[in-house]
Structure 1
Amino acid sequence: MLSACNGQDSPGSATAPAAKPQASVLTLHPQSVTITAELPGRTTASLSAEVRPQVGGIIQKRLFQEGGEVREGEALYRIDPASYQAAYDSAIATQQKAEAAVPSAEAKVERYQSLSKQNAVSKQDLDDAVASLAQAKADVASAKASVESARINLDYTTITAPISGRVDKSTLTPGALVTASQDTALTTIRTLDPINVDVTQSSTNLLNLRQAIEAGRIRISGDNVSVKLKLENGTIYPRGGKLEFAESAVSETTGTFSVRAEFPNPDRLLLPGMYVRALVEEGVAPNSFLVPQRAVTRNTKGEPTALFVDAQSKVEERGLTVGQSIGNNWLVTAGVSDGDRVIVEGSQFVRIGQDVDAVEVVIDDTTGEVRERRQAGLPDQQDSKAIAGNGGRDSSVKD
């Protein structure tokens, strides 16, 4: 009490200087960034064919396994061929009868030509013989056509696969009556390897991309545009695809146009109708900066900003011009330069203009989390768990 009255501090009451707050920073450097567009779409079979009968009759037998793979030309159904076999045999007989009349007509014409030179027959008789020969040959041609038509109908009693692919279930069973070109398809065959992915792209994004290419901000990667596929469960399809074509017109109702990509599908993992997202490589942006999304906030005006640590280790706020997202980063086109240090952790504990202790970190592009700390500072997540599991004491530090 006396020392307090005398205004003298005790030796242990000296006030220690306040420690500077720590902040994790990422040093930015320009790099070439691949510009990709993530577009929604659905898978479609590269080929699809509905199987229908071309002649009528009773189905005798189904010759395929439902849900299995079939080859082009493989027999699928057999229709009762009795009536078509009889029609074919009748056409053959008609052809033979027509062919039998030709030699007699030819001999008659030759005989009349010889007699006509001797004025033994009239000119009219010779003309009639020539006409009879032409009629006999025409009958033969007509009979051959009838035979071919009957043969085609007989072949149609065996319904074959028009394309190779996976066949669906059969809508009719043996014993059912079918008619030629009926509305109900017997089954459907779809070619699944390769498989198509139809996605939609907005006309606005297309205009922005072309303007960026003309301004030199983006360099196109070439004619062969590679495409990756993100499946419904969030995984990436292991095989890459290629862009096939884009429609030449924009929909007046939606303002979008369709883009088709083709993917190999040997394992039949992709099935028609699946919802997917295609990652299309549109080009490369040279000398670009990627800023982690966790470091970017917005001010009261809704403008993107970020906190930086300058050369004097002071905190400053800076406005950014943000483009599209690239993974867990933003593509920043203005507001940053080479060597800038952006704060990615600890921004809630610092103020603008305050001195901070900056700790260099490395960000994992896949998860967006801190992967490595390059100098002493804040403990990373694994070290924090180890310390907590040791009673709040780091076992690597000796007493």
Structure 2
Amino acid sequence: MMKCLFPLFFSLSLSLTAAPTAQRVWTSTAGTTVEASAVSYQKGSVSFKTSAGRVIRVPLEKLVADDQTLLREHFGIVEPKPGEPTSSERAFITDDFPHPVGEASGPIEAGNGSNYYIYIPKTLRKDRPVPLMIYTSAGGGKERVVNRYKLGAELNGWIIASPVESKNGPSHPEGNYKHSKQCFEHLIATLPIDQERIYFSGDSGGGAMAFYNAMRIQSAGIMPFVAYSPENNYKKKHYCYSIGGASDFNRYSTARAAAQYGKRGIHRFVKGGHTNGPEEAGVEGMVWLNGMHLADTRKDSELDDDRLDFESTLINWIKELTEETPHRAYYWCDFLVNHYEIEGKNASLVGPLMKALEKDPNNARYVEGLEALDDFSDKYFTSAQGASSLPRINKALEKLSEKYIGVPYIEMISLELAKPMAKPK
């Protein structure tokens, strides 16, 4: 029986996120009590249900310390320490999937001769639809393919899947699309996939399939490697994070494809020819795609928890990057401030990080250099054909390399772009 009503309570309909506690007496910091069962926790408040069926909601901080501790353990509440970013406080999922969490698994039968490998990250939260990235590899889906992008999956809370039978060969592109579609349909039928947040990626011919699939399956964005659009057809509402080898034989078609998306498209160069580059290239592409979508949908309150988790994860990752690659850490601070336009509880944490990183001027020059390389791609590679354009290109590259001497990555890529294109094998 309720002895005295808590302050700040109201009735509401409930969606349970954990088993209710037993009926017991709960005490507020003001000394008031209620006998009830705690049935859910959401956005800093606990919902209680009395034996009479009345539902009240009380801010967790209004309860005495022992009651707070019990409820944090029961609902798996994770709260930030002073100076740490705020997350959604949702509990992590550990055992709600038909496949192992935190490791690659497969091949998984999708039916009609189609199979895929999958990676389900450990950072998924309860009661939340999961974004999906389908990676079509030129050599077909394998365990190592999904493992390559597991850091990106963990940072973003994305499931990664790679169709086995969709690969280079005589069935490109129609037959490959059939396998991709069958795998996609099996994934959304068996897992809690967010169909508004489907992404496509792939390398070479598999990157071409990313463009092809995105035109036929609802998609939020693509991340092709050393690729081209086989149809020269694009959905301009997509985001495109295109990754290309600096001396790749596909570099002109990669540049033209990225340019089709205007401000929604980026062309990031990696060292070498027809290569995916370092794993960090794909990881950063996934973070960029995720951040741009969450920024664009800021009016959608259903994604508020996703935004909090993206922000807290990214801020903690920036702190890790600061030790080894401070230029990358600064880039992501700049991204949060100037592109994602962070606001709310976590915004105040980014400024001090950015200010500390600005002590090395090369960090800011790195961000400037990335924009210069993207502009270079748009200006010189979207229409350049063959050796007749090389003198003009090399003169522009000479200026770039001189301007960014000593800047991590930028100087190296400027010099790499001046090398002869690698020939197809």
Q: Shared topology, TM-score over 0.5?
A: no
Higher relative contact order (CA 8 A, sep 6+): 1
TM-score interval for Structure 1 and Structure 2 normalised by the shorter chain: under 0.3
TM-score, with length taken from structure 1 = 0.20
- Which has a greater percent of strand? 1
Greater C-alpha Rg: 1
